[in-house]
């Protein structure tokens, strides 16, 4: 049965099913999640600087196969500073090290012109005008559309659970750019009550534009997530060269608060076994080259009540990205970048292994 268009009018929604006319339903009866308005507030744009990095190659001469290869250990120290007048909590630190890191926002990865590739992203808006009708209520099932290499919507291999569908004020949109043997096309889709419809050229919306980066020749890929619940059941995870570690914050755990003007040394340390198919380039060869690109991302939020009332919230979060090229000095199987330690100095770590102190 086909569900027709839904519009909010005086808090009442008339729901039409098929050809028959149903009794009008109150918005409360549909349990619609209200649209949450966001107002930009003050932020703390952290300053970042990698002051030390040490990459160690174990078994560097072992050929890379699916079951054998070298192991890369890494230890990096990032100087994180809160230059603002507000206290802020560090929520995430993401660390990349590789042969090449490129900002590919809205582009093909590394400017690829051959082969098939696609870039897509979804977002929500308060509403859109389409064919003279204001759409601002829709049914969502918790997922965005999945496309094949020809740009046709297909069933997702990772469907959303069937019990999370709900009505919401606002609309979902998805933009997809696809390159294949027919050329490059960009289309915008609108979720119309659970059906993703191509509305390219028919609507005008403001799209939040984030930054997208691509790395080749991976040497390290590590994320620290600062979680507020020390009793959480979340586990550290990793596959291939990617690792994620949860750091519990709060009372009797790590203190992730940065006071105004404060600088702290945050540690990123991990390892990975270099195996196929994860290593398209041997990271030992990259380290031997003596030059490495780093990317560090942090996400933080000010310590203040974001609720303004009437489903309106103050946005006080901030993202910072550092792209930094470093030169390595080889000492045995260690490849070191150092602009922090003197010959008689070392890093002393806190009990959580997150913050370093120079002694």
User: What is the tally of structural domains in the chain?
Assistant: 3
Over residues 206-218, the pLDDT tens digits come to 776 677 888 999 9
What pLDDT does residue 159 have?
A: 65
Q: Is the pLDDT of residue 113 over 80?
A: no
- Do 222 and 76 belong to one domain? yes
Structural domain includes residue 279: yes
Structural domain includes residue 35: no
Q: Is the pLDDT of residue 232 over 60?
A: yes
What pLDDT does residue 61 have?
A: 94
Structural domain includes residue 62: yes
Over residues 43-69, the pLDDT tens digits come to 999 999 999 999 999 999 999 999 999
Question: CB under 8 Å to 237, separation ≥6 — which residues?
Answer: 243, 244
Which has the minimum average pLDDT: 8-12, 86-90, 306-310?
8-12
Structural domain includes residue 135: yes
Residue where a domain terminates, one of 203, 230, 256: 203
Which 3 state secondary structure label does DSSP give 322? strand
- Do 45 and 98 belong to one domain? yes
- Do 270 and 188 belong to one domain? no
Indicate the burial class of 108 (C-beta count within 10 angstroms; 0-12, 13-18, 19 or more): middle
Structural domain includes residue 153: yes
Structural domain includes residue 54: yes
Indicate the burial class of 343 (C-beta count within 10 angstroms; 0-12, 13-18, 19 or more): exposed
- Do 266 and 340 belong to one domain? yes
Return mean pLDDT, the chain: 85
What pLDDT does residue 107 have?
A: 59
- Do 232 and 116 belong to one domain? no
Q: Is the pLDDT of residue 116 over 70?
A: no
- The structure tokens 């198919």 sit at 277
Residue where a domain terminates, one of 186, 203, 220: 203
Question: Based on C-alpha coordinates, what's the Rg of the chain?
Answer: 25
- Do 298 and 232 belong to one domain? yes
pLDDT classification of 234: cutoffs 50, 70, 90: confident
- Do 50 and 150 belong to one domain? no
- Do 197 and 267 belong to one domain? no
- Do 186 and 219 belong to one domain? no
- Do 139 and 192 belong to one domain? yes
What pLDDT does residue 182 have?
A: 78
Can you give the residue range of the structural domain that contains 184?
112-203
Q: What is the pTM of this model?
A: 0.77
Q: Is the pLDDT of residue 174 over 60?
A: yes
- Do 125 and 15 belong to one domain? no
Q: Is the pLDDT of residue 4 over 50?
A: no
Residue where a domain terminates, one of 170, 203, 236: 203
Structural domain includes residue 128: yes
Can you tell me the mean pLDDT for 254-268? Answer: 98
Structural domain includes residue 299: yes
Cα(267)–Cα(252) distance, integer angstroms: 20
- Do 2 and 99 belong to one domain? no
């Amino acid at each position: 049965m086909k569900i027709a268009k839904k519009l909010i009018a005086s808090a009442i929604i008339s729901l039409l099913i098929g050809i028959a006319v149903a009794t009008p339903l109150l918005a409360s009866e549909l349990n619609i999640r209200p649209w949450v308005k966001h107002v930009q507030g003050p932020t703390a744009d952290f300053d970042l600087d990698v002051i030390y990095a040490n990459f160690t190659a174990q078994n560097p001469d072992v050929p890379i196969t699916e079951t054998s290869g070298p192991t890369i250990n890494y230890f990096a120290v990032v100087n994180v500073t809160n230059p603002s007048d507000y206290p802020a909590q560090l929520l995430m630190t993401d660390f990349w090290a590789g042969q090449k890191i490129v900002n590919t926002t809205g582009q093909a990865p590394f400017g690829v012109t051959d082969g098939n590739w696609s870039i897509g992203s979804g977002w929500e808006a308060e509403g859109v005008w389409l064919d003279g009708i204001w759409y601002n209520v829709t049914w969502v099932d918790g997922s965005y559309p999945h496309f094949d290499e020809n740009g046709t919507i297909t069933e997702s291999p990772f469907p959303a659970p069937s019990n999370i569908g709900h009505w919401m004020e606002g609309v979902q949109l998805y933009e997809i750019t696809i390159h294949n043997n027919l050329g490059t096309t960009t289309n915008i889709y609108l979720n119309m009550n659970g059906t993703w419809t191509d509305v390219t050229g028919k609507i005008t919306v403001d799209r939040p534009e984030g930054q997208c980066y691509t790395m080749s020749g991976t040497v390290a890929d590590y994320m620290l997530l600062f979680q507020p619940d020390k009793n959480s059941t979340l586990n550290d995870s990793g596959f291939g060269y990617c690792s994620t570690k949860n750091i519990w914050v709060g009372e009797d755990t790590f203190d992730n608060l940065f006071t105004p003007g404060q600088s702290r040394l945050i540690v990123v340390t991990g390892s990975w076994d270099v195996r196929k198919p994860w290593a398209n380039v041997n990271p030992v060869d990259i380290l031997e080259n003596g030059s490495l690109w780093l990317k560090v991302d942090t996400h933080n939020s000010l310590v203040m009540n974001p609720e303004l009332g009437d489903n309106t919230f103050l946005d006080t979060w901030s993202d910072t990205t550092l792209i930094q090229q470093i030169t390595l000095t080889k000492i045995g199987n260690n490849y070191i970048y150092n602009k922090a330690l003197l010959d008689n100095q070392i890093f002393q770590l806190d009990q959580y292994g997150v913050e370093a102190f120079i002694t």
